[in-house]
């Protein structure tokens, strides 16, 4: 069977555009639209599409069904289908979509050593219509881990001559499950009108929200000592130095 083709013109894999643009370019073809080209199978009005099993059957007799492969075979030789079951679709978004959300981080800071523990993180990200809830939460969790690591640990450092001194994982700090709490995800779903599926995107939301939330939580935890700002990453050394400078 010749597959459906989604035509997409884009500037690259950036800005959460896959569901928004590529997904919208894939047509939601109905069963009767396809079967209209293969009248030898049955009367189109009597055919139902079982989307769970990807099969067509006459109403009331699901045990006798035709798969997409059967349908493609039956379509061979049809005068109005010279290329088989093929369809090309073009979608041009009318404008950008704007996901939104809020993140709350709770940290505990040891004022004597500058050590920080991220003890709770709550994320609320609205990505429009949710197409796959499992992948949605997975991307939020991964984004929070990456954002928290940027806020607390990750830094590329150089010596006075410009040589990198964080060139391997023994020198470059990265986050693990030991440093991360269980993430609480609050679901919101506000479909956008800028594309037919109502999706906005979720790929970057976790990092966008978590990084400033964690960094702000660290500063707030030691603000009673007079600290007003700490550069990221908020390492124990920098936190300890900020506390002593404020004193």
88-90 and 100-109 as β-strands: parallel, antiparallel, unpaired? unpaired
- For the stretch 105-161, pLDDT in tens is 999 999 999 999 999 999 999 988 888 888 889 999 999 999 999 999 999 999 999
Q: Is the dihedral of CA 7, 9, 14, 20 positive or negative?
A: negative
Q: What is the pLDDT of residue 23?
A: 66
Do both 84 and 109 map to the same domain? no
Coil vs helix vs strand at 209: helix
Please check whether residues 21 and 107 belong to one and the same domain.
no
Least confident residue range of 34-38, 87-91, 191-195, 204-208: 34-38
| Residue 22 · residue 93 · CB < 8 Å | no
Report the C-alpha dihedral over residues 102, 107, 109, 114, rounded to 10 degrees: -60
- pLDDT category of residue 4 using cuts at 50, 70 and 90: very low
Same domain flag for 120 and 221 = yes
- For residue 82, name the pLDDT band (cuts at 50, 70, 90): low
Q: 158 lies in which domain range? A: 100-246
In-domain check, residue 80: yes
Output phi, psi for 69, to 5 deg.
-65, -40
Assess whether 107 and 219 both reside in one domain: yes
The tens digit of pLDDT for each residue in 34-55 reads 555 554 556 777 788 887 888 8
Does the residue 140 lie in any domain?
yes
79 and 107 inside one domain = no
Specify the range with the lowest mean pLDDT, choosing from 79-88, 100-109, 115-124: 79-88
Res. 205 pLDDT band, cuts 50 70 90: confident
| Tens of pLDDT, residues 161-191 | 999 998 888 888 889 999 999 999 998 899 9
Distance CA 192, CA 154 (A): 35
Rounded to whole angstroms, the Cα distance separating 244 from 113 reads 11
Q: Is the CA virtual torsion 232, 233, 236, 238 positive or negative?
A: negative
Label residue 2 by pLDDT band (50, 70, 90). Answer: very low
Alpha-carbon span 219 to 172, nearest angstrom:
23
12: left (phi over 0), alpha (psi -120 to 50) or beta: left
Q: pLDDT digits over 145-167, tens only? A: 999 999 999 999 999 999 999 88
Q: Are residues 78 and 138 in the same domain?
A: no
Q: Please report whether residue 113 resides in a domain.
A: yes
Say yes or no: 218 and 119 in one domain.
yes
pLDDT for 24 equals 67
């Amino acid at each position: 069977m010749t597959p459906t083709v989604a035509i997409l013109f884009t500037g690259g894999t950036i800005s959460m555009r896959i569901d928004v643009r590529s997904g919208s370019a894939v047509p939601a073809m109905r069963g009767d639209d396809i079967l209209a080209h293969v009248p030898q199978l049955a009367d189109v009005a009597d055919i139902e599409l079982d989307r769970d099993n990807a099969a067509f059957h006459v109403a009331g007799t699901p045990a006798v069904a035709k798969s997409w492969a059967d349908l493609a075979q039956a379509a061979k030789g049809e005068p109005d289908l010279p290329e088989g079951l093929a369809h090309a679709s073009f979608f041009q978004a009318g404008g950008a979509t704007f996901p939104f959300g809020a993140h709350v981080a709770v940290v505990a800071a040891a004022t004597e050593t500058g050590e920080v523990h991220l003890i709770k993180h709550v994320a609320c990200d609205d990505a429009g219509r949710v197409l796959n809830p499992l992948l949605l939460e997975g991307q939020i969790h991964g984004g929070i881990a990456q954002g928290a690591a940027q806020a607390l640990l990750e830094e590329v450092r150089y010596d006075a001559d410009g040589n990198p001194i964080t060139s391997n994982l023994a020198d470059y700090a990265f986050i693990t499950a030991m440093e991360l709490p269980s993430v609480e995800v609050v679901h919101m779903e506000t479909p956008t009108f800028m594309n037919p599926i109502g999706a906005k995107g979720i790929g970057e939301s976790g990092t966008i929200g978590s990084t400033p939330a964690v960094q702000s939580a660290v500063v707030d935890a030691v603000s009673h000592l007079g600290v007003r700002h700490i550069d990221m990453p908020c390492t124990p050394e920098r936190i300890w130095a900020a506390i002593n400078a404020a004193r």
